[in-house]
A and B are shown apart, each in its own frame.
Chain A
């Protein structure tokens, strides 16, 4: 029974021969294959851009969630200082939920990063091979008879076809990963919009309102005290003046 290595090799060769079978004469095969390489090179560049976009989005969300962690921590402290342990607990619970989201995001940004690096390296190899193939193809066309050319084309095309299959797989895997990440980013956006997470971060959320009310009532209390002091000090004078 053949192992993984020879099976992978067989599949790659099958892809390639399917591709080359479409062309009839050696010169045509070469040009056709070259065009395909250029298409693939464009695809891998697009793949890299897509991964970068998905990564950017996750990084933005990470920054937003990190801000809410800081904010919730401050709120917890304020609430505790005001003697509201219930509110402090609520803020800390929310903080834990946001931190759980953050942890997942971190891993996914790292995963995307790995995909991006693979694609960049794949693109570099493909670009180098495409350039080598272009030179080789002109040499083959200029120097060899049709029969000889066929053999040489077979070799060069197998070499580059293998790289094309490899790059194709890298693009496919990066695409799958990017789609998963985009779905997750949308899910977090959705949560934020629907209010499930919004409560945690929005400035007008219930926790904020209560804290604001507390500080407002604290302020009112203070002003009231100040007024009382003023009025208390002034009132007897008025009475005396009459």
Chain B
């Protein structure tokens, strides 16, 4: 499957890494719910590191969509919460002038 590390790029990863990512992701969700910024940051960093280490980087010009998106590790709690609301962190795509 293809994973995007936000702010970095896309990687193709295998099934075992995908499983590992899902475990870390569940923990990260817990950290966000507890409001534990340090744990959230460390889990997101571990997710990104694992993808970088074992994944194959896709070419910049590749137009494949990703199956999963990993938020940036330096996300603050406020940013993380905002990320998951539609009006939140990611701005609307710009309209042509």
Interface residue ranges, A against B (CB under 8 Å): 1, 3-9, 11-12, 14-16, 18-19, 32, 35-36, 38-40, 43, 118, 121-122, 124-125, 127-129, 131-133, 136, 155-156, 158-162, 164-166, 168-173
Which residues of chain A are near B7, meaning CB under 8 Å? 118, 121-122, 166, 169-170, 173
Q: Please, how many angstroms separate the alpha-carbon atoms of A137 and B32 in the complex?
A: 40
Q: In this complex, what residue of A is CB-closest to B25?
A: A3
Which residues of chain A are near B4, meaning CB under 8 Å? 162, 166
Which residues of chain A are near B32, meaning CB under 8 Å? 4
Bin the interface of chain B by size. Answer: 35 or more
Cβ B68 vs Cβ A165 within 8 A: no
Cβ B93 vs Cβ A40 within 8 A: yes
Given contacts A124-B60, A159-B64, A166-B4, contact A3 B69 (CB under 8 A): no
**Shortest beta-carbon distance from A7 to chain B in Å:** 5
Which residues of chain B are near A166, meaning CB under 8 Å? 4, 6-7
Q: In this complex, what residue of A is CB-closest to B21?
A: A5
Which residues of chain A are near B28, meaning CB under 8 Å? 3-4
Q: Please, how many angstroms separate the alpha-carbon atoms of A133 and B61 in the complex?
A: 8
Which residues of chain A are near B66, meaning CB under 8 Å? 9, 162
Q: In this complex, what residue of B is CB-closest to A22?
A: B95
Which residues of chain B are near A18, meaning CB under 8 Å? 92-93
Given contacts A4-B28, A4-B71, A8-B71, contact A155 B91 (CB under 8 A): no
Which residues of chain B are near A5, meaning CB under 8 Å? 3, 21-22, 25, 68-70
Cβ B96 vs Cβ A39 within 8 A: yes
